[in-house]
Amino acid sequence: MAVNGVQSLMRKFNQLGSMEPIVYKSVRKQTLAVQHVAVKLCPVYYPKGDPIPGVSSGELRNSIFTKVEQDADATIGCVYTTKAYAPYVEFGTGPVGEANHAGISPNVPVAYRQDGWVWQDKEGGFHSTEGQPAQPFMYPALKSMEKHVITAIGNDLQAAMREVGGNQ
């Protein structure tokens, strides 16, 4: 028994070829969109007087990058920062951070130091702290874009299939 249109359908699938380049391009585009939101949400330190050593206005924001990796099984888009202190900003620190950590990822187990600490500034003065509240920017960026990213990648794949199938 012959099924009408099978040869035509098979030609169209062969024309489509590998979806990997289409998926890669779409994931890259959406990873950049999440990065854009993370940069907008990232807190910026504006020094008043003596700045925090190693922290200057916009430094964390300017350290948010993307990468996309593809192998035989998956295409993974990653938004990341190169600053070692970024987790302290994202999750907060000490008892203050533990008490004020709304918006952080529920999937990351965070342990907070329960006592305050003291540090010495470059002029020899001592300061104490009980920590800082969380100022999440990475997780909220991803969470706010989650539905958009899934929909956009699906739309890109459908558009590629329609293009080959001739249904614009």
pLDDT tens-digit map of 120-158: 988 999 999 999 999 999 999 999 999 999 999 999 988
- Structurally, the chain folds into a number of domains equal to 1
Cβ neighbours for 44, distance < 8 A, ≥ 6 positions apart: 57, 58, 60, 61
Please state the rounded mean pLDDT for residues 9-15. 61
Task: Compute CA distances 30 → 60, 142, 143, whole Å.
Answer: 21, 10, 13
In a domain, 3, yes or no: no
Please state the rounded mean pLDDT for residues 94-106. 92
**Tell me, what's the pLDDT at 1?**
36
In a domain, 10, yes or no: no
In a domain, 5, yes or no: no
pLDDT tens-digit map of 13-61: 666 667 788 899 999 999 999 999 999 999 987 666 555 555 556 899 9
At 118, which amino acid appears?
A: V
In a domain, 2, yes or no: no
Give me the domain span that covers residue 49: 18-165
In a domain, 12, yes or no: no
> b/e map of 83-113 (b: 16 or more CB within 10 Å)?
beebebbbbbbbbbbbeebeebeeeeeeebe
How high does pLDDT run on average in the chain?
86
pLDDT tens-digit map of 110-126: 999 899 889 898 899 99
